[in-house]
Amino acid sequence: MRLNRTSVTEFLLIGFSDDHDMHILHYTVFLFVYLIAVMGNFIIILVVALNINLQTPMYFFLVNLSLSDICFISTTLPKSIATSVTNKSLISFAGCVSQVFLVITFTGSELALLTIMAYDRYVAICKPLQYSVIMNGTTCIKMAAASWISNLIHAMLQTSMTFQLNFCESNIIQQYFCDVPQLQKISCTDTTINQILIFALGTILDSFIAGFIFVSYGYILSAVLRIPSAQGRYKAFSTCTPHLLVFSLFMVTAVFSYMRPKSLSSPTVDLVSAVLYTVLPPVLNPIIYSLRNKDIQEAMRKMPKQLKHLLT
């Protein structure tokens, strides 16, 4: 009977050292990183909203990506920061369910939006005369909505599968947030089916996404090399390079975190890999896009005047 019910009502998040000095360091670093990520992505959203010439499909999806980044990092870091201040590492069962659901949702939305953005760049460079017809406003909204809705459904399925497991012995999660692989480790029931499904689904989706993006960029590279002017080639590369960097960063860290072999799993490796895919992309995405995109840079220089004009 004990194995047929979930007796755990809360979980203990043990991601970092219990040392007081380490708690201070953890609080300082994570608070700084969180503020940088939120402000950077908010600035991207504000810049696009204030500049009519940036209200194109590419920047529409970039705004969606920035919104996803803000929500993604807000799912895990505030709780971890609060833990370092209060020294209370407990999270309720409902809170853990919410974290798992949101992490899966925003992980999926990042990959979906990056895939859509690759398609947008493919159409813009390889089919420029048809771009405004293919990537019209209605189509962009439908693609973004499909991305969010499909990932909400996927997250509901994955979350329900995870919490159908029984947690009747240990409630200690060796991570700074509720993570599916860590929950599987402490379950007192067999998780083989869950692991197989995650691996199979991850392999199929990741292979499709990676293949789609790299095939798209193969066509893009071929088209760019045919552009006669050096300035035209540079402009095309400058809009594609940030996206490819962001995709590669997120894909590698997320896949390693969820699909690495057990032989590579340890508390330190698990913690570092989780930080890499939940914290690094939301921090670096706005930096990469702002550093590599002249339109964003120009719009950011104009933003103080625009804000002053709106406030007066």
- What's the N-to-C CA distance of the chain in angstroms? 68
pLDDT given for residue 291 in this prediction: 66
Instruction: Tell me if 283 is assigned to some domain.
Output: yes
pLDDT score of 3? 39
The number of folded domains in the chain is 1
In this prediction, residue 262 carries a pLDDT of 65
pLDDT at 98: 94
Contacts of 90 (CB under 8 A, 6+ apart): 10, 11, 12, 13
Establish if 143 belongs to a structural domain. Answer: yes
pLDDT at residue number 248: 79
Quickly tell me which residue has 């991207």 as its tokens.
44
pLDDT of residue 17: 65
In a domain, 114, yes or no: yes
Residue 2 domain flag: no
Rg from Cα positions in the chain: 21
Secondary structure (DSSP) of the chain:
-GGGS----EEEE--S---HHHHHHHHHHHHHHHHHHHHHHHHHHHHHHH-GGG-SHHHHHHHHHHHHHHHHHHHHHHHHHHHHHH---EEEHHHHHHHHHHHHHHHHHHHHHHHHHHHHHHHHHHSGGGHHHHT-HHHHHHHHHHHHHHHHHHHHHHHHHHTTS---S--EESSSS--HHHHHHH-SS--HHHHHHHHHHHHHHHHHHHHHHHHHHHHHHHHHHT-SSHHHHHHHHHHHHHHHHHHHHHHHHHHHHHH--GGG--HHHHHHHHHHHHTHHHHHHHHHHHHH-HHHHHHHHHHHHHHHHHH-
Residue at 296 is within a domain? yes
Q: What is the number of residues in the chain? A: 312
What Cα–Cα distance (Å) separates residue 166 from each residue in 2, 174, 178, 195?
9, 18, 15, 15
User: What is the domain-level CATH number for residue 67?
Assistant: 1.20.1070.10
Q: Per residue of the chain (312 residues), what is the pLDDT tens digit?
A: 343 445 678 898 887 766 667 778 888 889 999 999 999 999 999 888 888 888 889 899 999 999 999 999 999 999 888 888 887 888 999 999 999 999 999 988 988 998 898 899 889 888 888 999 999 989 999 999 999 999 999 999 999 988 888 887 778 888 889 988 888 888 888 888 888 888 788 788 878 888 888 888 888 888 877 777 777 777 667 767 777 777 777 777 777 777 666 666 677 777 888 888 888 889 888 888 776 677 787 877 877 777 777 676
Range of the domain at 96: 8-311
Domain assignment present for 3 = no
Angle at 167 between CA 10 and CA 254, to 5 degrees: 85
Q: Do 62 and 51 meet the contact criterion of CB atoms below 8 Å apart?
A: no
Supply the pLDDT for residue 1. Answer: 32
* Assigned domain for 1 exists: no
Q: Is residue 216 a part of any domain in this protein?
A: yes
